[in-house]
Structure 1
Amino acid sequence: MSQTVSPEVSPAAPPRERAFPADFKDRLTCPLPDFREVVSVAWHGGFRPDIGDADQIPVLRAGLPAAGAGDVAVTWVGHATYVLRIGGLTVLTDPVWSRKIPGVRQRLTPPGVAWSDLPPVDAVVISHNHYDHLDAPTMRRLPRHTPVFVPANLASWFTKKGFTDVTELDWWEGARVGEVSFDFVPAHHWSRRTLFDTCKSLWGGWVLTSGDQRVYFAGDTAYGDRFKLIGERYPGIDLALMPVGAYEPRWFMHVSHVDPAEAVQACADVGARRMAAMHWGTFVLSGEPLMEPLRETRAAWLAAGRDRADLWDLAIGETRTLVV
């Protein structure tokens, strides 16, 4: 059973008025690839794996089963998008329902939940502003009064589109909707949406807590010591939603994305008993074979001596319920 956050490690509430820095480059933990490196990996086919195995990616579009009031239910929509039901709320993580996002081929698999099958959305959390995590067409489908939680310096993107309930947070800050706390935590990543806004908004993950139930959504991240810090501040995480794909070629991707073995280690670092995989099987962003993230995640989990039942290697559209 999870532990509640003790007063000495409770996240700081955001001040009503504050000025964020012009950029967050001082939060980077690795230099970003330069233009020559990007051209090199693209020229040598590093982002063009064989997609002949796309039909092997498991898809189960069975709708959203009922969830009990005291349960935590997670449904993988695809990529980093989950429908997370916790504390009586329906929360979307990095929602992307679009068939196509800029810069990559159209999605390999359909969204695991039809938009029309969604219940009213009580909140949205955004990890950072990359197009595969912040999708403008999907956001336009939401009512403008939907509460949205975003990294520092990203609120203006939403308010310009008419959203009226936007909370932007720095690392270790938190806010609430009903009985659920939404706490923004560090990641090893970066941000950019145009040629001129590199790292001008922050990036991170989210810890959602309702009573003694706690879920960590890692967003997009490389590996590093920030996972242990999260585990120290938020003991008793029941489930970690961890990215496991988009990691090859490793020399290029290691600054941005964990590989499967690192994802399993990160799950251990944050102290989570269970891990649900994501960030694979939807968009082609890197060079590993399509099914390799799933195979490597299963192998790494077993090699770490973890209980196989605690690895939630979900099909797209599959729901798993955590009964605490």
Structure 2
Amino acid sequence: MIRRGSGLRPMKRLLFVQRRRRRLWPAGLALLAALGLGSAWWATASDREHAPAAAARPAHHTAEGFRNRDGSTIDKSQWEVWRWQLSRQDPPRPQPPLPVVAPDLQSPEPNITWIGHSTVLARLGGLAVLTDPQFSERASPVSWAGPKRVVALPLTPAQLPHIDVVLVSHNHYDHLDEASVRALAAQPGGAPLFIVPLRLKAWFDDLGLAGLRVIELDWWQSHAERGVEFVLTPAKHWSSRTPFDRQQTLWGGFAVLAPDFRLIYTGDTGYSRDFTDIRQHFAARGGFDLALIPVGCYEPREFMRGQHVNPADAAQIHLDLGARRSVGVHWGTFEGLCDEPLDQAPRDLAAARRQLGLADAAFTVLKHGETLRLQGAR
């Protein structure tokens, strides 16, 4: 592959860039949609007309949609995205490939199984809970371009146990996939309950799935299902599925409080004070036995910093939350989402543990399909 600084004459360099742009065009469009990046179009006139008065709404609600608790919004211009795309070099695939193991679906509760990326099957409190369902080959609005799954699924939707609750942290394509939602809605025994951030229910309604239960939550709001409490927690991120709906739906993570176990899934996030606040908010409940924290999709750093933590940030979030143990997610599954190699996050996480003096077992990653049996609540 020809790299910059190779001494190409100006005309050859121009032709190379033009060819690269043609090759990146379809994939780049799909990536724009998959990440929700592009033009910063905001609320429609109707949305603004019906928005609550500023004095009546929480600080993270705006006339245009939502923002982070620190007042920030993630607004990458098309030029910033294309500049990143045109400068990218495909990282090598892991050699040997990342392993896939058979899940242990007979393991007694509580336990988790990492299916891939941010999709985790958690069994606790008598419920089977699934985070951010993404079972498709691509994390994209189209089937022919965009970030591609390069590690085999250890479980298909048809092989899952009956899912009781699905937690959706935000609407990006690598976290919310239409085909996966339809498959879950059609599971034998009836569709699961979907718990989602504010204003995301309309997306499910548009699917036309009769009788689908969808509950929306704002940050710190909760819903109890069969004795298990689900609380939407704040995160530093953003939302969009097209260039025209930026920040129109909320984003976040979930605290799952069962009698036998307390889990938190942070959702996608940049580093923020949210996690020390979350620890304080739940301190009287005994804290968290396990945290699911993203560790991948962090390069190029300047582009990703505000929206995705790197392993060093993730290790600090583990400390901020005061979790007994953490498991890294959001890595090693989809090629083309970000620039670090798919197997880089575990190495960087190991370095971060050493830097912070954490035991290896305090914050680990799993193999695709691996089931982790968990100790009960303190």
- Tell me if both proteins adopt one fold, taking TM over 0.5 as the criterion: yes
Residue 303 (structure 1) shift: 2.2
Show the counterpart of 1:119. 161
In structure 1, distance between residues paired with 2:192 and 2:251: 21
Aligned AA (2:308): H
In structure 1, distance between residues paired with 2:375 and 2:316: 24
Residue 320 (structure 1) shift: 0.4
Residue 312 (structure 1) shift: 2.8
Show the counterpart of 1:66. 106
- State how 1:192-271 maps to structure 2 within 5 Å: 192-211=240-259, 213-235=261-283, 236-271=287-322
Aligned AA (2:103): G
Show the counterpart of 2:352. 300
Q: Which moved more, 1:239-248 or 1:204-213?
A: 204-213
Residue 57 (structure 1) shift: 1.7
Q: Which moved more, 1:88-97 or 1:51-60?
A: 51-60
Distance 1:72 1:213, change over 3 A: same
Show the counterpart of 1:274. 325
SS in 2 for 1:207: strand
1:79 counterpart = 2:117: yes
Residue 254 (structure 1) shift: 0.3
Unaligned regions of 5+ residues in structure 2, if any?
1-50, 53-60
Residue 111 (structure 1) shift: 1.8
- State how 1:26-65 maps to structure 2 within 5 Å: 27=69, 29-45=72-88, 48-53=89-94, 55-60=96-101, 62-65=102-105
- State how 1:100-139 maps to structure 2 within 5 Å: 100-102=138-140, 104-139=146-181
SS in 1 for 2:65: coil
Aligned AA (1:269): D
In structure 1, distance between residues paired with 2:362 and 2:276: 20
Residue 323 (structure 1) shift: 1.7
SS in 2 for 1:85: strand
1:143 to 166, 176, 185: 185
In structure 1, distance between residues paired with 2:340 and 2:126: 38
Residue 54 (structure 1) shift: 5.9
Structure index of larger Rg? 2
**Identity rate of aligned residues, in percent?**
38
Unaligned regions of 5+ residues in structure 1, if any?
1-17
SS in 2 for 1:300: helix
- Indicate conservation of the 8 Å contact 2:68/2:235, yes or no: no
TM-score normalized with structure 1 length: 0.88
- Indicate conservation of the 8 Å contact 1:54/1:290, yes or no: no
- Indicate conservation of the 8 Å contact 2:73/2:238, yes or no: no
* Larger helix proportion of the pair: 2
Query: What RMSD in Å do the two structures reach over aligned CA positions?
Result: 1.9
Q: Which moved more, 1:29-38 or 1:240-249?
A: 29-38
Show the counterpart of 1:167. 215
Larger relative contact order (C-alpha < 8 A, sep ≥ 6)?
Answer: 1
Aligned AA (1:86): L
Aligned AA (1:119): P
